[in-house]
C-alpha cells in the first residue's frame, strides 16, 4: 500500500525501487518482454549508427523504446485481470485483447518509423 509518510528523496528512492522490481518481475515472468529487451540490444546501436541527424536517432531509438513500455503496461493489465479471476469472462478477454492490440500498435509504429527513415536512404 502507499505510504503517505514518504516525502522528498525517500519517496523518490522507494519509487525507484518499486520500478526496478517491476522491471525485474516483468523480465522474469513475461517472455514477450524478454524478447523485446534482447532485440533492443543490437537495435539501439544500429539506430544510433543509421540515424544521420539527432532527430533521426531520437526517432529510431524512441520508437524502439515505446515497445517495451507498452509491453509493461500490457503485462500489468494481464496480471490484474488474472488476479481478479482465471475463469473466462468476456470483459477479461476484451481487456487482454485491447492491451495486446496496444503492443501490436507500438510495434507497427516502430516499423513505420524505421521504414520512413531508412528506405529513402536505400532508394
DSSP 4: T
Residue 114 φ/ψ, nearest 5 degrees: -60, -40
Looking at 28, 52, 71, 87, which residue is catalytic? 71
Asked if 64 and 43 touch (Cβ cutoff 8 Å), the reply is: yes
Question: Is 36 an annotated catalytic residue?
Answer: no
C-alpha cell at 38: 534482447
For residues 63 and 26, give the distance between their C-alpha atoms in angstroms, rounded to a whole number: 20
How many CB atoms sit inside 10 A of residue 63's CB? 21
Active-site positions read 71
Amino acid at each position: 500500500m502507499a505510504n503517505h509518510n514518504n516525502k522528498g528523496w525517500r519517496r523518490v528512492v522507494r519509487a525507484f525501487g518499486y520500478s526496478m522490481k517491476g522491471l525485474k518481475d516483468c523480465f522474469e515472468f513475461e517472455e514477450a518482454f524478454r524478447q523485446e529487451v534482447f532485440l533492443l540490444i543490437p537495435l539501439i546501436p544500429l539506430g544510433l549508427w543509421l540515424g544521420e541527424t539527432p532527430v533521426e536517432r531520437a526517432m529510431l531509438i524512441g520508437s524502439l523504446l515505446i515497445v517495451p513500455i507498452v509491453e509493461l503496461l500490457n503485462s500489468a493489465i494481464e496480471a490484474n485481470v488474472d488476479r481478479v479471476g482465471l475463469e473466462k469472462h468476456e470483459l477479461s478477454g476484451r481487456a487482454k485483447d485491447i492491451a495486446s492490440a496496444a503492443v501490436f500498435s507500438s510495434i507497427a509504429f516502430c516499423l513505420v518509423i524505421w521504414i520512413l527513415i531508412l528506405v529513402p536512404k536505400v532508394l
